[in-house]
Amino acid sequence: MEQIREMGDKAIIYDKKGDYTKWFYNSKKDKILNPFDQRSESWSLLSEIENIVGIKQLSKAFIPEKENPGGGDKIWDEAGRLAFTEIVSKLYSQGENLTNREIVDRILKSTIKEVAKILKNTYGQAIVDPNSPRTASSVLFVIAAHFNSLKLTNSKPGESFSIRDWLLGDEQDSMLFLTSQENLSGELAPLQTAWMEIVIGAILSKSADSDKKTWVIIDELPAINKIPSLGNALATTRSYGGCFVLGMQNIAQLREVYGRNAAQNISSECNTRCIFQSNDSDTAKWMSDNIGDIEVSEFKEGLSYGANTIRDGVSVSKQDKVKPILLPSEILNMSRLNLILKMPDHPAVKAKVKHKKREVIVEPFIKNHEIVEDLKSAYDDVEEVSNEGEESGNKKGNKNSAGNAEGENELTSKNQNNQTII
């Protein structure tokens, strides 16, 4: 972090525990994105959209693809992505200047007929159809479960901080902190994953001959949802000045989020490795395999004795073997602050880092009290609309009670004649 400051490069840091923020955040030139933090920038989804293709990629960040999903889950997830993409694309193409909460309200506070009207003449019109209410309700449920976190940020696109504009702007020596807290990580994870996806897209939009680097530091990579473009980004963004620093506790966490093949792909694109002590035997074995093997020659000496000293003899045999450069047991028993450093074109070496006590310059988290009142107001609006609907329904019911009674008798008669169950 200190070296990045000295070079004047930009950096995006996912800071789960707030350590980076309390040691390095500078309010004069840095940004924070966390709607629960008082210092956070306002953010809008529509302010990040350069074209309609980007909306589909962001929908994958909110509804991550699973490695081995059940057949039903995969269909509903894909339907949710398609419906959300088409709705936002329609609103975007119509030039509506909506906040994130207004987008969510337009989808989740509307009736199936109203949502179907938005999706008319789009690729999503078949999956939200008033004639198939169960299917439509299931698709809207998927959207509600994954996109609900958008309501946490509520500002107009023109008044919002844009990650793309900040990253592609001329301003240098600036850092963006994506902070979190353990009790809020579940709520923030979809947003943070989407923000990382936007960062990757912005880096790939830079000029290939740019001499300025952009650092992406993700401490505890498996703590956020699957970043759809991460594997591709590690392979391609280096040509655009992209530098990734990824941290994790054990390989099982990474495989759980990304799947075995994608986790292997992410690992293979990381050229420099810093391996510290691990308490997990599978992770130690995986790290040992990553360091590689070495071929060694072993010599064995044999002695033979005969009845006469003339028959005594010594034989020497050579045997070539392949052994791990570092045994898994050595990683399990590594001392604190010791590590194995593996760099491209260099053999792995043992190293040791010194503990540096840093001064806390800011609070890692300052609670945003306004968001609580803001969300309460939004829920009060929902309750008010619901009550109005109930009152209107009651009035209509009272007005038509006599007609309903006549209609009920008519339906009963019709049921007896036609044997139709209603």
Mean pLDDT within 332-337: 93
CA 231 from centre of chain: 13
Question: How far is the C-alpha of 196 from the C-alpha of 202, rounded, in Å?
Answer: 10
Backbone φ and ψ of 364, nearest 5°: -65, -25
C-alpha angle with apex 6: 164 to 227, nearest 5 degrees?
35
Which residue shows structure tokens 């898994």?
Answer: 328
pLDDT in tens, 99-136: 999 999 999 899 999 999 999 999 999 999 999 999 99
Note the residue count of the chain: 422
Count the alpha carbons within 13 Å of 319 in the hemisphere toward its beta carbon.
9
Confidence of residue 418 (pLDDT cuts 50, 70, 90): very low
DSSP of 111-160, one letter per residue? -HHHHHHHTTTSTTTTTS-TTSHHHHHHHHHHHHHHHGGGGG----GGGS
**Does residue 348 surpass a pLDDT of 60?**
yes
DSSP of 338-354, one letter per residue? EEEEE-TTS--EEEE--
Higher per-residue pLDDT: 407 or 374:
374
pLDDT in tens, 57-66: 889 899 988 7
Q: Which amino acid is at 297?
A: S
Residue 47 contacts residue 158 (beta carbons within 8 Å): yes
**Does residue 412 surpass a pLDDT of 70?**
no
CB-count exposure of residue 276 (10 Å: 0-12, 13-18, 19+): middle
Token reading at 233: 């980004």
Q: Domain 2-291+326-352 falls in which CATH fold?
A: Rossmann fold (3.40.50)
Which residue shows structure tokens 């398609």?
Answer: 82
Give the whole-number percent of the chain exceeding pLDDT 90. 58
The pTM of this model reads 0.82
Q: What is the per-residue pLDDT for 248?
A: 94
Nearest C-alpha neighbor of 200 from the set 155, 159, 168:
168
Question: How far is the C-alpha of 33 from the C-alpha of 49, rounded, in Å?
Answer: 18
Among 149-158, 165-174, 329-338, 407-416, whose mean pLDDT is lowest? 407-416
Count CB neighbours of 250 within 10 A.
17
Higher per-residue pLDDT: 309 or 317:
317
Give the whole-number percent of the chain exceeding pLDDT 70. 85
DSSP state of 31: E
Question: How far is the C-alpha of 86 from the C-alpha of 95, rounded, in Å?
Answer: 14
Q: Which amino acid is at 59?
A: S
**Does residue 242 surpass a pLDDT of 80?**
yes
On average, the pLDDT of the chain sits at 84
**Does residue 22 surpass a pLDDT of 70?**
yes
Confidence of residue 70 (pLDDT cuts 50, 70, 90): low
**Does residue 207 surpass a pLDDT of 70?**
yes
Question: How far is the C-alpha of 45 from the C-alpha of 24, rounded, in Å?
Answer: 27
Q: What is the per-residue pLDDT for 134?
A: 92
Q: What is the per-residue pLDDT for 307?
A: 65
Count CB neighbours of 86 within 10 A.
23
